[in-house]
Structure formats: structure tokens, C-alpha cells
Amino acid sequence: LHDTVEDTDLTFEQVEGMFGLEVRNIVEGETKVSKLPKLAFADYADEQAENLRQMFIAMTDDYRIIIVKLADRLHNMRTLRFMKPEKQKKISRETLDIFAPLAHRMGIWQVKSELEDISFMYLYPDEYKKVNSILNRRRNKIVDTLDHSVKVLKETLRNDPTLRSQDVEIEVVGRTKEIYSLWHKMEMKHDRNLDHIADLVALRVILTPGDSIVKATQSADSGVWLCYHVLGLVQH
């Protein structure tokens, strides 16, 4: 529904009548913030991009509005191949400077990474191909390293007496550094040697405290000490 009022004769009142006030507010809020990127100048200075991101958040009473906007932008990026080249670059620049950082701020890592990689592909096609080619040549080694590391860490956490005595669910996942993030780090270091990138692969441990821990501490931070405990196990 996010574009219906702008693109058709449908009114916000009709949206409310069919779907309720809550949906109307989200649609109306998305319509309002969708005009913000058009306020930007041709070149997206860092300060201006940050101002726009702040305006998005300040004008939004319901964070679901930003999530709808991010989902809309992600869909646009996935279909960008049908646009003219100059339009592809303009939208990609806007996405990289405004929407990917917004997704990062919202903690939606998967959306942030995909927005960055697609934008990178259109803005710097040659660099994208080079980095992607390097990663593809090493993909088997990377996958083997991740699989082995996940297995070792899972075993370590599973056998730890402290964790075994707690009501906590443990999940270990591995990831490879995204193409844009990898390129950006190489540019910052002025080093194109992939062997010098320390966090090409990484592991993430997610701890979900059970009801007994939450009730005992009565705190949203009830699992923090467990996180530090796991960090200690990793470091040692």
C-alpha cells in the first residue's frame, strides 16, 4: 500500500476505512518521508547525507515506516537493471549514502549488506568484478574455514560447565565479509592483498536467555554477563 496514495486516486481516509488507523499512519508516514531524498543536492556530502538520515528518524513516530521504506528501496535496487545507466548511478549513490546506513542503524544487517553490494555493483562495476573474482577464487577455502571454526566453537561452548548450567539457547553462525565492505576496507588500508584483511570471515554467537534467567534478573540485560563469558572463551 505504500505508493497507492501517491500513484492512484486512493485517499488516506479510504486506506483507513479498509485497513484501519494503524495501517493508514504507516502509509501516510512513508509517503511523507519518501520526499526527503529529493531535497538533496547533486553530490551527496557526508554531512548532508547524515542530516537526511537524522530527518528520516526525527519525522518517524513508528519505526515500521522506515522498515517499509527500506523494503521498498531494496525492491527498487533488485530491479535496477531495468533503469537507464544515469538513473542506476543516481539511485545507487542515494542508497549507499542514506538508506544503507539507515538499515545499519536499525540493526537490519542483511538489508544493509545487500543495499551496499548492489549499489557498489552499479557505481564501481570494475572494482566490483575484481573483488568478486578474488572472493570466488577463495570461496572453497573460506567455506571450509568457516565450517571448521563453527564446529570447534560450538563444541567449546557446548562443553563449558558455566553455559551448561544456564537456561540459555546458543546459536553460532559464520559469515564472509560483504563485497562492498571488503573493498572499502582495502581502500582505507591502501592494500589490495586479501591476506591482510583480518576479518574476511567472522563468527557470531547469539545467546537467548531462557525465562528463568529473565525472571531472576528482571532486566533486559540479563544475558550480558553470559556474552562476556563467551567472549572470554573465544579469546582463550
Q: Is pLDDT above 50 for 205? A: yes
Q: Which range, of 38-52, 89-103, 122-136, 162-176, averages the lowest pLDDT?
A: 38-52
**SS in 3 state form for 101-159?**
HHHHHHCCHHHHHHHHHHHHHHHCHHHHHHHHHHHHHCHHHHHHHHHHHHHHHHHHHHC
Average pLDDT of the residues in 89-114: 91
Confidence band of 32 (pLDDT split at 50, 70, 90): confident
Residue 222: which H helix or E strand, with range? none
Percent composition of the chain: helix, strand, coil (DSSP 3-state, to 5):
70, 10, 20
Active site residue 147: no
Q: How far apart are CA 148 and CA 137, in angstroms?
A: 19
Q: What average pLDDT does range 185-211 have in this prediction? A: 81
Predicted pLDDT at 42: 47
What are the start-end ranges of the E strands in the chain? 168-176, 201-209
pLDDT band (50, 70, 90) for residue 29: confident
Average the pLDDT over 125-133 and give the result: 93
The more confidently predicted of residues 230 and 193 is 230
> Does residue 55 register a pLDDT over 70?
no
Angle between helical axes of 139-158 and 125-137 (0-180°, round to 10): 60
d(CA 201, CA 10): 48
Query: At residue 94, what is the residue type?
Result: E
pLDDT exceeds cutoff 90 at 58: no
- Tell me the mean pLDDT in the region 181-210: 82
Q: What pLDDT does 62 receive?
A: 84
- Active site residue: 3, 6, 169, 199, which one? 6
pLDDT tier at 2, thresholds 50, 70, 90: confident
Choice between 169 and 220, residue whose per-residue pLDDT is larger: 169
pLDDT score of 135: 87
7 is catalytic: yes
93 band by pLDDT with thresholds 50, 70 and 90: very high
